[in-house]
Amino acid sequence: MELFSNESVNLKILRKRAYNMRWAEVPDDVIPLTAADSDFPVAPEIIEAICDYAKAGYFPYTPKLGFPEFRRSIANALKTRKNEDVPEDLILPIDSAARAMSIIARAFLKPGDEAIVFDPVDFLFKTSMEAAGAKIVLFPMKIKDGRIDFSDLEKYITPKTKMLGLCNPHNPLGMVYPMEDLEYLADLSNKYGFYIMNDEIWSDIVYSDAKFNSIVSLGAEKNQRTLSVYGFSKSFGIAGLRAGCIYCQNPALFEKIVETSEVLSTIGGISSLSQVAGMACLDKCYYWVEKFTAQMQKNRDYALERIEKMPLISCRKPDATFVLFPDIKATGMEAEELADFLLKKHQVAIVPGGKTFFGPGSDGHIRICLATSQDILKEGLDRIERGLREIAEAKK
């Protein structure tokens, strides 16, 4: 069977296992194009690695800072895939990118600090920084000539600014950053002394018509205050294994990360099986990621073609990520209202924009996940189209 064929999506299993607004949480007649999680089974090498480890019958405590060979695999992948020079002893495997963000925020923010969060962006930036006591300062994203306009970013920086969240590639806009913008952000971080929470969880899902650049590739001097996050949920489809890591190029920052993570007391940490899976991903499965990304590119192009022909909706072409973020303001409805209408009347679930998930700047948008089979995507888009046509008719 082809890796990403219609037949490879097993709805019987997904309906039992896929939570977080997906198959197991919606009625059987609903198609969930919601949380950014794949409907495809993982690469066979991951299954094999987990089975081999499990068959040996022992699950003892693991090294507190992670398996040395896993840290080496991560360092190697960062270097070869993204030109990031990170010593393996400045990499901390941890149980998910979400946890990594929480640890970074708690390590470097305290009540009274300010943290700059792009608007819109994934809710985890705000949630993690707010939980650490920081006041969130939203930076409204304006797109100019296909790039994020940073010309007035400095206006949002005050003496209290201690952190800036960088989602690269950007979820939900699917944008990559030119090197000069990343250098500008790194220079600002050094000039004003704030930390950068650099989330690169989407860095493998970049389409052939775009190029990913990493701030980390600028080197240790520029990244004295950069803390980076990577996770295995998006590229390899193992969200339920909760696997990710934190890394940096400054040993003093790493010490603080380890202390805050509570791995030394075993309160924090990542399971042995998740590390084994993570190692298989990095050492053996990039061939799978390439094919998956190519399939997502086909899905992206198909979905954009469909959306172009629908009324009351328009969409920017993403460079990366497997989500679309169309503008639905022409419907005259709030995103939540449209999501509710599509779910109840047309049996398709999407994520509404608005402050819950992405910030107030995402009002008037919905997010559609593309990581499913072509048949399911087609049916999901058919349903969205029927819903929009019904609204357009009623407006006449």
The CB-of-142 to ligand PLP minimum distance in angstroms stands at 20
Calpha distance 284→278 (Å, rounded): 10
User: In terms of DSSP bridges, do strands 135-140 and 226-231 run parallel, antiparallel, or are they unpaired?
Assistant: unpaired
Cis amide linkage into residue 172, ω under 30° from 0: yes
Instruction: Show the tokens assigned to 214.
Output: 């990493």
The answer to whether 102 contacts ligand PLP (rule: CB under 6 A) is no
Calpha distance 277→334 (Å, rounded): 41
Site for ligand PLP in 330-389 (CB under 6 A): none
Q: Which is nearer to ligand PLP, 96 or 214 (CB)?
A: 96
Q: Angle at CA 318, nearest 5°, toward 314 and 145?
A: 80
Site for ligand PLP in 18-37 (CB under 6 A): 36
Candidates 32, 66, 231, 352; binder of ligand PLP (CB under 6 A) is 231
The CB-of-289 to ligand PLP minimum distance in angstroms stands at 15
- 3-state DSSP assignment of residue 137: strand
The answer to whether 124 contacts ligand PLP (rule: CB under 6 A) is yes
Half-sphere exposure of 215 (CA within 13 A, CB side): 32
Q: Return all residues near 162 (Cβ < 8 A) that are at least 6 apart.
A: 108, 109, 113, 114, 115, 134, 194, 195
The answer to whether 97 contacts ligand PLP (rule: CB under 6 A) is yes
Q: Which is nearer to ligand PLP, 39 or 122 (CB)?
A: 122
Calpha distance 332→343 (Å, rounded): 17
Candidates 228, 233, 331, 347; binder of ligand PLP (CB under 6 A) is 233
Beta strands in the chain (DSSP E): 31-32, 91-94, 114-119, 135-140, 143-144, 147-148, 161-167, 195-199, 226-231, 244-247, 323-324, 348-349, 351-352, 366-369
The CB-of-341 to ligand PLP minimum distance in angstroms stands at 25
The answer to whether 200 contacts ligand PLP (rule: CB under 6 A) is no
The answer to whether 239 contacts ligand PLP (rule: CB under 6 A) is yes
- 3-state DSSP assignment of residue 32: strand
The answer to whether 171 contacts ligand PLP (rule: CB under 6 A) is yes
CA 307 and chain centroid, separation = 23
The CB-of-201 to ligand PLP minimum distance in angstroms stands at 4
The answer to whether 167 contacts ligand PLP (rule: CB under 6 A) is yes
The CB-of-291 to ligand PLP minimum distance in angstroms stands at 21
The strand pairing partners of 161, in sequence order, are 114
Here's the x/- map for ligand PLP, 283-322, by CB under 6 A: it reads as ----------------------------------------
Candidates 34, 73, 96, 295; binder of ligand PLP (CB under 6 A) is 96
Q: Which is nearer to ligand PLP, 228 or 347 (CB)?
A: 228
Nearest residue to the partner ligand PLP, using Cβ: 231
Integer angstrom CA distances of residue 158 from 150, 236, 348:
16, 39, 44
The answer to whether 14 contacts ligand PLP (rule: CB under 6 A) is no
The answer to whether 122 contacts ligand PLP (rule: CB under 6 A) is yes
Residues at the contact surface with ligand PLP, assessed by CB under 6 A: 36, 96-98, 122, 124, 167, 171, 199, 201, 231, 233, 239, 244
